[in-house]
Structure 1
Amino acid sequence: MDTQKHIDEQALLDYFSGTLSPVQKQEVEAWIQETEENRKIARDIEYIYFATDTINTIKSIDSTKALKEVKVRFSKKENNKRSFILQLQRIAAILVIPLLISTLYYATKEEPVEFIEIRTNPGMVATVNLPDGSKVWLNSRSYLKHPQKFTGDTRNVEMEGEAYFSVQKDKSKKFIVNTPFNLKAEVLGTEFNMEAYKESNKVVTTLISGSVRLSFQNKNNTEETMIMKPNDEISYNSKTRGVSLSKPYLPTLTAWKDGLVIFRNTPFEDALNVLSKRFNVEFIVKNDLLYENSFTGPFDGQHLHLILEHFRLSSGIHYKFVDPETGTDKISEKTIVELY
């Protein structure tokens, strides 16, 4: 390994995974210390290794099953409310992992209702199995809340961020997704993607199969409904209460759940949005002319700097990793990239 040359990506991944020999480890460390650019590349690879390792760990988490398994450890019956609360605190402590799972209890006249909350960290993707057999993929910085057991004639969940739903058919119980905005989706059995980040003031629903009924407050402050067909994408602006319909290329919008990045004549701004969520990165665009570009290509398991290299080679877009000005936790902070 020649420290005068660019250390390849695999060597850096092996370094952070601890599989290099002592000699190789010293060579990589010497290369990292040579220049500021080398340190930036190493930091990016370290984040990628951390994110990939975490995704592999949490990808198959079944939130309901996880809670049940933990509760077995505390199976002794408690005789008062105080000990019951202490039990929940112990459970929450065990489940503090990059995919944060917590429980909420609501007391009713009949019996307590238990809700499970799932949150994904920036740059993380997780899979959640719901009590009815439905499956949900949560994208970066997303939130899902569902009851431990669906009762009554509806299956209600709450989401914020981005999620892909594969809903189990049950004609007797509608599946309802509630968002932070005045919009909800009602389905019986279908697959669809929904994006509802609070900071965007928008809900974007993309139907893959089946049908979805959207209910929202329109410009006249009355409830309006729309029935979606497969390949429909409906964007709802919570501020203007306007709605737009388009027919997107579905793999570009849903590839994230499989750990992929797929572009097809994807505008520059949309591509940056995809990469921002996938790699927890903040892009600083120094040249507005870059927004005239669009990109096509699949990136199976590719890392951020390799996708940026594709940008450079195909469109002459240059990039530079920038050290954040504040923050000491280099794992949790956003990667900052300038584009010019």
Structure 2
Amino acid sequence: MQNREAKELLKKYREGSCTAEEIALLESWYLEYEDETKPDFTPEAIAEEKSRIWQSLPVHQKQVKRMVLWPWIAAASVILCVTLALLFQKKDKQAADTATVKILPGGNNAILTLANGSKISLNDAANGNLASQSGITVTKTSDGQLVYQVGISAKETRVVEYNTVTTPKGGQYQVNLPDGTKVWLNAASSLTFPVAFAASERQVKLTGEAYFEVAHNKEKPFKVSSDKQNVTVLGTHFNVSAYKDDDEIRTTLLEGKVKVQLSEIDASAVLRPGEQGVLKGRTFNTRFVNTENEIAWVNNAFVFDNEELGSIMRKIARWYDVEVVCPEELEKMEFSGTGSRSKSIQNALKIMELTESVHFKFEGRRITVMP
């Protein structure tokens, strides 16, 4: 039963026109409502208040005449019902206050910084043409993509201009580069790229995480540089995760072939499809992984496969734009499970709470992990 229906029954109750069935329904609703919202008053407290009001009625005083009995009872009933109505209103307000802090998932949200330094909020900008520069037209599509289209004059320009697409925490975006390469940017990431690629190579710079579907061009290798490595490809599908707050950089190959060059240790490795290169400190290792799990975020899903809690909570913090406090002794715990990135944060964390190994305390947008 909805709160509006309950209030209508309370009104009938005050008027004395409730049927026995309606009174039973109202009492049943109240008990259910009480379980959900844990109000400050209890059925025992209400019973005690009823008793106090009843004992104060003139019917219990010898000098009172019978003719004044029912008016006093009606008045007492009104007082009690008004009290209940106020308490229900208080509970409605408490429920509303709780709803205002519900933490929703992220979505398409990014900032485009043009070569001249001007910034365009892709979340607020209307669909259609956003800018024209060096013969390139920049367009925002209705399904949340940023598309670069090359004009004839772009092939003649020698001036190298750079754009940057930046996603905040709780944001993601798809960028279609001038050469036809498609890039999906995860939350808290940025991609810097030339408006028109050079004649000999295609090079972009990444911070955070991105999935690439590179347009094939054997004459112009595609290069992705991050803080401590460079990835060179001809035409392939791969994912790079290079967040500064992670202790490792992961490069996962789905199709084709990539060469990972490690700047700090002067080494390189060639990855095969299904293989992942992991740079941790000054150590680089390769391993075969489930590639679908590695790019689950592109399909709007969480997939944890024996993943450490510290890593999981960093992903949660980025996508839902929250602050996470996780004790060091819990960070190494491993969890497996799947969830949707389109649902609330409570749904995402439910997987781990079901194990009864950890619990989560919510204080606004601050989440504390507890054993």
The answer to whether structure 1 residue 209 and structure 2 residue 255 are counterparts is: yes
The corresponding residue for 1:232 is 275
The corresponding residue for 1:252 is 293
**Percent identical residues:** 24
The answer (yes or no) to whether the contact 1:266–1:296 under 8 Å persists in 2 is no
Structure 1 counterpart SS, 2:338: strand
The corresponding residue for 1:43 is 101
Once the two structures are superposed, residues 171-202 of structure 1 have per-residue CA deviations (whole angstroms, 9 ceiling, x without a partner) of: 11100111122x10000011111111234464
Within the candidate set 173, 179, 182, 1:132 is matched to 179
Structure 2 counterpart SS, 1:264: strand
Gaps of 5+ in 2: 4-32, 38-88, 113-120, 148-156
Once the two structures are superposed, residues 200-221 of structure 1 have per-residue CA deviations (whole angstroms, 9 ceiling, x without a partner) of: 46422111111110112354xx
Once the two structures are superposed, residues 13-43 of structure 1 have per-residue CA deviations (whole angstroms, 9 ceiling, x without a partner) of: xxxxxxxxxxxxxxxx9657427xx745532
Using a 3 Å threshold, how does the CA distance of structure 1 residues 244 and 57 change in structure 2: closer, same or farther?
closer
When the two structures are aligned, how many residues end up with a matched partner? 262
CA distance, structure 2, for counterparts of residue 306 and residue 294 of structure 1: 15
Once the two structures are superposed, residues 79-128 of structure 1 have per-residue CA deviations (whole angstroms, 9 ceiling, x without a partner) of: xxxxxxxxxxxx9xx9xxx9999xxxxxxxx7422211110011111100
User: TM-score scaled by structure 1?
Assistant: 0.65
Structure 2 counterpart SS, 1:311: helix
Report the AA paired with residue 367 of structure 2: V
1:166-185 aligned within 5 A: 166-181=213-228, 183-185=229-231
Within the candidate set 284, 295, 300, 1:243 is matched to 284
CA distance, structure 1, for counterparts of residue 292 and residue 251 of structure 2: 14
The corresponding residue for 1:149 is 196
Structure 1 counterpart SS, 2:130: helix
Using a 3 Å threshold, how does the CA distance of structure 1 residues 194 and 31 change in structure 2: closer, same or farther?
farther
The answer to whether structure 1 residue 69 and structure 2 residue 116 are counterparts is: no
Q: What's the CA shift for 1:158?
A: 0.8
The answer to whether structure 1 residue 123 and structure 2 residue 170 are counterparts is: yes
The corresponding residue for 1:34 is 94
Higher gyration radius (CA): 2
The answer to whether structure 1 residue 159 and structure 2 residue 200 are counterparts is: no
RMSD after superposition: 3.8
CA distance, structure 2, for counterparts of residue 136 and residue 245 of structure 1: 24
CA distance, structure 1, for counterparts of residue 318 and residue 239 of structure 2: 15
1:293-312 aligned within 5 A: 293-299=334-340, 301-312=342-353
The answer to whether structure 1 residue 336 and structure 2 residue 366 are counterparts is: yes
Q: What's the CA shift for 1:271?
A: 2.4
